[in-house]
Amino acid sequence: MSQRQLTVDICVLGAGAGGLSVAAGAAQLGLSVVLYEEADMGGDCLNTGCVPSKALIAAAKTVHAMAHASRYGIENVSAKVNWNQVRGHIGGVIETIAPIDSQERFEGLGCIVLREHARFTGPDTVESATAVVKAQKFVIATGATAAVPPIPGLAETPFLTNETVFAQDDLPDSLIVLGGGVIGVELGQAFARLGCKVSLIEAFSLLGGQEEDAVACVRDSLNRDGVTVIEGAKAVGVTGSSTEVSVSLEDGRVIKAQRLLVAVGRAARVDNLGLEKAKIAFTRKGVTTDHRLRSTTNPRVWAVGDVAGKQQLTHAAGFHASVFIRNAVFKAPATAEVGHMPAVAYCDPEFARIGLSEAEARKQFGSAVTVTQVPFHDNDRAQAERATAGFCKLVVGKGGKILGATIVGEGAGEAIQLVGLAMANKLGVGAITAMIAPYPTRGEIVKRAAGAYYTPTLFSDRTRALVKFLKLLG
C-alpha cells in the first residue's frame, strides 16, 4: 500500500485530553490538522482513567450510603453487588461521553484522523502505515501508562493496573493495592466498599506527603471502610498465580490476596516514537520542554499533557492545549508553569489542594505567612448531611495574597474552585470575604476560612478602642 503524502499546519500524536483539545482548537481556527491515535479515542481519561474510576467510585459510594443509612434514621441495608452490572454502569458512562471524543466528531471539525501508530523519521516528518506527514508544528500528546516497578517476581505474576482493573470478569474477594497515591487510594477504597478485603501497601506515606492533617482524615476513613493501610513498607518480592498473589515486604511480612493492583504512578509514553530521529530531547518523565511546552531541542515540536513531564492531570492537559494555541497560533506568550493548578483525590472524604502547602509557604516566606483553618464540623450543611469530616485550610501571604489551600471533606473538589478563581485572577483573600455565599452550603467554609484571616485585626484592642470612641460620638 502506498503512503499518502500530507502537508499540514499541525500534526498531533495522541487523541487523549490534551491532543483532542489542541486538534479541536486548531481546526476550528481554520488550520489543517492531522490527528493520530492508535488506540481508543479519548485516551486514558475516558477509557481507563478518570471516567471509569469515578463511575466505580459512584457505585461504591451508593453501597456505603446504604450500609450507613441509620445516621439519617433509616434502617441500614446490606447491598448485593452485581459486578457485571457495575461494569455495565461504567461502560454506559463511557459510551455516553465517547461521542464528544469520537473520530466522527473530529473529522466533522475538519481533522484528518489516522487510527494507527506514528513515529518521527526526521525533524519535520512523521510516518505511519498509510501516511507520511510533514507539518509546520508537531504536538506530542501520547500521555502516560501505568508504571511497573522492578520488584522481583512481579513481571512473572499476574497483576492489574488502572488500565485493566475495570475489565475484570468478577469482583475479587481480596485485593492488594501496591501504591498509596491518588489512584491507589481511590480504587482501594472503592473496592473495599464494594465488598473486597483490601490491603493497601505504600513504601513511604499515604498520598505522597501532602498536608498530614488532611491525609489523616483520609487514612481514618480508609480504616473505617476496612482497608488495611500499610505505610513505610517496601515490597521486595511478588509471587502468585491468577487465584492468589503474595507480596513480601522488607520487614518480613507477607501479604496475600486473590489479586494484585499495581498503582505506583504513571510513566510517560515516549518509547517507539522516533524521538531521537527528530532530535527531540526526552527522559523517562517525558519530552524535555521549556515553560511554554516547546521542545528544547526541536522548535517545531511541542508536548502537552502527561508526556510533557509536568502535572499528570486531565485538566492540566486541557490547560496545556490552551498554552500551545496561545503561543504557537496567536504568538502570545503564555506559560504552563502556574501556581494555581488544582489537584483532587476523589476518595471519601475528597482531598483537594491548590498552590503551596503550609510547610512549603513557611519555608519560602517565613513569618509573613498566615494560616487559617475551619472544620466542616462548624458548617451547618455538613452537619445536616452528617458528613463533617475534614476542614478548609487557607495559606495567606503578605497583603492578603492567597498562596494556597487544602480542603478535605465532602465536595472538596467543588469548593477548591473558588480559591482557584481567586488565585488565577490575582484576587486577595478579601475578595472571597466580599462574596455573599448562599446558606446553607458546604462552600461557605471557604468564605469562613478567608474571614478568619481578618479576625485578629477585626477584634483587636485597637478596633475595640475605635468602637468605644465612635460610641462617644453618638
* Residues making up the binding site for FAD: 54, 306
How far is residue 196's CA from residue 227's CA, in Å, rounded to a whole number? 9
Could you tell me the three cell numbers for 14?
495522541
Instruction: Kindly state the DSSP code that residue 295 receives in the 8-state scheme.
Output: B
Cell 499540514: give the residue.
8
Cell 453487588: give the residue.
81
99-105-110 Cα angle (round to 5): 170
Cell 476518595: give the residue.
347
Phi, psi of 391 (to 5 degrees): -165, 170
Question: How is the beta sheet containing 259-262 ordered, strand by strand?
Answer: 228-231, 197-202, 174-178, 259-262
How far is residue 113's CA from residue 229's CA, in Å, rounded to a whole number? 45
How far is residue 313's CA from residue 304's CA, in Å, rounded to a whole number? 11
**HEC profile of 229-247:** EEECCCEEEEEECCCCEEE
CB 228 within 8 A of CB 198: yes
How far is residue 419's CA from residue 424's CA, in Å, rounded to a whole number? 9
Q: What are 459-467's contacts with CB under 8 Å, separation 24+?
A: none
Looking at residue 55, its amino acid is A
Could you tell me the three cell numbers for 360?
512549603
Phi, psi of 166 (to 5 degrees): -80, -10
Phi, psi of 333 (to 5 degrees): -65, 130
Cis bond upstream, residue 349 (ω within 30): yes
Half-sphere exposure of 181 (CA within 13 A, CB side): 13
CB 165 within 8 A of CB 184: no
Could you tell me the three cell numbers for 218?
483520609
Binding site for NAD(+): which residues? 179-186, 202, 265
Binding site: which residues? 54, 179-186, 202, 265, 306
